[in-house]
Amino acid sequence: MKQTLMKLKPLALALCVASLPLPAYSADNLDSLRNTVETLKKQLEQVQKQLDEQDKATVTRADLEEVRKEAASANEWKSPNTLVHMAGYADVGYAKTEGEDGSFGVGGFSPIFHFQYRDLVMLESELEFEVEDDGETSVALEYLTIDFFLNDYVTLVAGKFLSPIGQFRQNLHPSWINKIVSAPPGFGHDGAAPTSELGAQLRGGFPLGGMRTNFAVYAGNGPELNSETEDQVEFELEGVRAEGFGTDADEELVYGGRFGLLPIPSLEIGVSGVTGKATVTELEDESGLPELVLDEEKRDYRVYGADFNFSYRSLGVRGEYVKTRVGSANTGITASGSATWESWYTQAAYKFLPTKWEGVVRYTDFDSAVDAQDVQQWAFGVNYLFTSNFMAKFTYELNDGENGSPVDDNRFLTQLAYGF
Amino acid sequence: MKTRLTKQLKTTVAAISIGASVLLPLPAAAFDFPEPGDFASGSKAWAENCARCHNIRPANELRDDQWLTTVFHMRVRAGLTGQEARDILTFLQTSNVALVQEPVRPDDAPASTLSGKEIYQQTCIACHGADGKGAFAGVPDFTDPQGRLSKSDEELLKNVQNGFQSPGSPMAMPPRGGNSALTGGDLQKVIKYLHSEFGS
């Protein structure tokens, strides 16, 4: 535009001159012409100024290149010392128990938050949201730990953590990992295996000759016990709640851990154990409503476990055994004899590659201190893996429990599970 | 131990979730931590450890920064040593590149002094195995007469150069097996070695 106006300048002058009559110009005409030319000059100067200002406000390629260089040198947002990452899993499903109507359900939504400062420390936490039968939403803090990486072989993990006893609770229970829709009986809540703990543990791994090992040792608040009675005369231990309590009701810590050995890369063998004290804090009477009890006698608390895991190409075989024993108490309201909870399972899974189908079979034998909870279960599963972390699972459970008890009924379960 | 969601708790949870999600879109970047690990050792440690508990997640599923937190989380869970974690992280961050589908371009870079066997043992053995049958499910069996080595050398070279995902494999082979230093001459040496070692 600027160049066009510059070309127009002489043309405008020529037009002005050409528009005048040919006879000799009078002084008046000359003055008029001079004024016109002056006016045109002023207007051109104004346009020139406006164009110069416009040029200053316009971004050029050189300006852009300068900005690019500046952005490339600003590294603080590209490589921060603190990282945030949300992982987790969720599942929805449908369950049909023998003799009952089936129903849809939301298994859970479990976001996992990772906050990490360089390679020094990580805070990790999992929340668990569930839709209850009455439509209300419940939430639980599955775990929350600060992991301090002490060196290449040991990490200090403090807070509420998944129990390191065995494999299922700490590594296999997420729905996108567990190959059967349900947990093995005895490995869920109030079973034979502890689920969570609140305390501190040291975890890690180290080479041992040509083999590999991993370990976890911990101290924690320990579990609390449930007792039941029908006549306020005789009392029985009904359950162990090992879910990570914020206080230590018996005022004595429990100590435990697991040691895993991998003699070859495809085989892991683990042994676990816990020792300490536990006390009854809940009593359920004939009304069915639990009431709080205090200052009951401390009882011995022991857990023993063993697990193995073998994989070869498309085949994965694993198994786990756990036994919880609670000692007797001679004094207090809920004084009663000792009790044991024992469960073991073996599972085999095979991927029919190159298809996306997978077959699974699992056998579990759960022997509870409460006879009505005892069950022997065959679970058969067929899974379709849309991707490695998104799958449809179909499971049929053949349950053999005490006649008339809920755990005696066979079940069909299906689930969509997604890990993210 | 579950809790019914109160209004206050809902607000807290929403605040945490929104705060985290705002910080999530962090672009991938080259971090100065942890120290770099060894790619070949990382691919071996990855193949031997991750499938013990769960299906293997493809390397291109997450960004570099997401792999960093994920691998450190798994270091705690699986009892990995710090060195194993660094090696696996290097392997995953190097391998999470998109596959390219381009014809093989002439590669004038001179081949290295390594033999085809040495290159295979440094870069390929973790996934393809010492016996060529594949270290884990989904990896092609080079010893199968009707298998991968029955394809033309041109196609094999294209797959190795550009990267390739076999049907049923949990992850794709990254371009040049994840080792960008390999030249066209090196790749041809490897293919020649595959035929001589595993071919019928």
The answer to whether B158 and B166 have CB atoms below 8 angstroms apart is no
Give me the pLDDT at residue A138, please: 94
- CATH 2.40.160.10 is held by the domain A81-419: yes
Closest residue by Cα to residue A107 from A419, A420, A416, A388 = A416
CA–CA separation, A408 and A283 (whole Å): 26
HEC per residue, B107-144: CCCCCCCCCHHHHHHHHHHHHHCCCCCCCCCCCCCCCC
How remote is the C-alpha of B15 from its chain's centroid? 36
Give me the pLDDT at residue A342, please: 97
**Residues in Cβ contact with A234 at an 8 Å cutoff, skipping those fewer than 6 apart:** A336
Place of tokens 């869920």: A188
Of all residues in chain B, what percent are helix, strand and coil, respectively (each to 5)?
55, 0, 45
Tokens in use for B40? 């070949």
Confidence band (pLDDT; 50, 70, 90) for A20? Answer: low
Segment (H or E) for A284: strand A267-284
CA–CA separation, B178 and B92 (whole Å): 9
**Distant-in-sequence contacts of B148-153, Cβ < 8 A, 24+ apart:** B149/B194, B149/B195, B149/B198, B149/B199, B149/B200, B153/B188, B153/B191
Max Cα–Cα distance, chain A, nearest Å: 139
- The 10s digit of each residue's pLDDT in A84-106 is 999 999 999 999 999 899 999 88
Q: By the CB < 8 Å criterion, does A383 face chain B? A: no
Report the predicted TM-score, pTM, of the whole model to 2 decimal places. Answer: 0.80
**Residues in Cβ contact with B29 at an 8 Å cutoff, skipping those fewer than 6 apart:** A78, A79, B64, B65
Give me the pLDDT at residue A419, please: 96
DSSP string across A304-323: EEEEEEEEETTEEEEEEEEE
Residue A5, pLDDT > 60, answer no
CA–CA separation, A235 and A229 (whole Å): 5
Q: Do B30 and A79 touch (CB under 8 A)?
A: yes
Residue in chain A nearest B168 by alpha carbon: A354
Domains of chain B: 35-95 (1.10.760), 116-198 (1.10.760.10)
- Chains A & B: contacts with CB separation below 8 Å: 149
Buried-exposed string A100-119: b where 16+ CB fall within 10 A, e elsewhere: eeeeebebbbbbbbbbbebb
Closest residue by Cα to residue B90 from B32, B36, B31 = B36
The residue of A73, A78, A83, A85 whose CB has the most chain B CBs within 10 angstroms, and thus the best one to mutate to test that interface, is A85
Interface subset of A 137-166, CB within 8 angstroms of B: 137-140, 147, 149, 151-153, 155, 157
Residue A6, pLDDT > 70, answer no
The answer to whether A161 and A201 have CB atoms below 8 angstroms apart is yes
The answer to whether A257 and A215 have CB atoms below 8 angstroms apart is yes
- The 10s digit of each residue's pLDDT in A224-265 is 999 999 888 899 999 999 999 999 999 999 999 999 999 999
Among the partner-chain residues B31, B70, B80, the one whose CB lies closest to the CB of A79 is B31
Give me the pLDDT at residue A353, please: 83
Q: By the CB < 8 Å criterion, does A130 face chain B? A: yes
Residue B74, pLDDT > 80, answer yes
Partners of B168 on chain A (C-beta within 8 Å) are: 353-356
CA–CA separation, A281 and A249 (whole Å): 8
Strand, coil or helix: what is B61?
helix
Partners of B65 on chain A (C-beta within 8 Å) are: 83, 85
Place of tokens 């990580």: A122
Most confident of A157-166, B60-69, B126-135, B171-180: A157-166
The residue of B44, B57, B60, B72 whose CB has the most chain A CBs within 10 angstroms, and thus the best one to mutate to test that interface, is B72
CA–CA separation, A356 and A167 (whole Å): 26
Q: By the CB < 8 Å criterion, does A4 face chain B? A: no
